[in-house]
Amino acid sequence: MDTLNKIPLIGEKFPEIEVQTTHGKIKLPDTYKGKWFILFSHPADFTPVCTTEFVAFQLRYDKFKELNTELIGLSIDQVFSHIKWVEWIQENIKVEGKPVEIKFPVIADDTGRVAAQLGLIHPAKGTNTVRAVFIVDPKGIIRAILYYPQELGRNMDEILRMIRGFQTSDKYGVAIPANWPENEIIKNRVIVPPAASEKEAKERLEQAQKGEIECFDWWLCHKKI
């Protein structure tokens, strides 16, 4: 197994891969054409942090689907291990008195082929996959990549925020400030792209005078959407 494959880059097309999952075989990224999808890897089934992550993803699954976004997990485990672990979660984990049923598919990458192709194996961590997240848009383009160490579980609300931010940016042609939609400076407003010429800088200030946008200066303007 080649563990030296480079990780795909933001802005590149997600590699075409056929994978075996708990929901059967699927082709990536084609299966999710026209949808956003989040592929996330975890070190192994039947491990404590990974279990909390799967529960957290499932509890937000409906929110992801409302954003036209699908989830798909991955680890270097056989499909029967995934199936048994998912069953164990439903039988043993309850949130607010209700069992947690994992409804998204999980890739069984027991050969490590997919993990190697996506650069998910860290040489210092043996053969386990790292905690990686790929956010892929409806055209199959990788928009974001997150890497976490094995000891730190992910924040699923941040991943939801990223999807909302990307969709807002794409729709309105704007940039998204820190901690949006609760930014400390401009609250839930969005940033107008900085001027790239003297002409555009002058236009920004004219737009501000008309009340179309607000500016701290010509290079830092924002608006409500």
Active-site amino acid positions: 50
Contacts 24+ apart (CB under 8 A), 171-175: 172/225, 174/223, 174/225
CB under 8 Å to 199, separation ≥6 — which residues? none
Runs of H (alpha helix) within 176-223: 198-209
Query: What are residue 218's phi and psi, to 5 degrees?
Result: -65, -25
For the record, the structure tokens of 126 come out as 């043996």
Distance of alpha carbon 189 from alpha carbon 85, whole angstroms: 42
Give the Cβ contact number of residue 211 at 10 Å: 7
Q: Residue 132 is encoded by which pair of tokens?
A: 């990686």
Report how far residue 72's alpha carbon sits from residue 119's, in angstroms, rounded to the nearest whole number: 17
| Contact predicate 17/114, CB 8 Å | yes
Q: What is the DSSP letter of 31?
A: G
Is 131 annotated for ligand binding? Answer: yes
Q: Which residues are annotated as a binding site for substrate?
A: 131
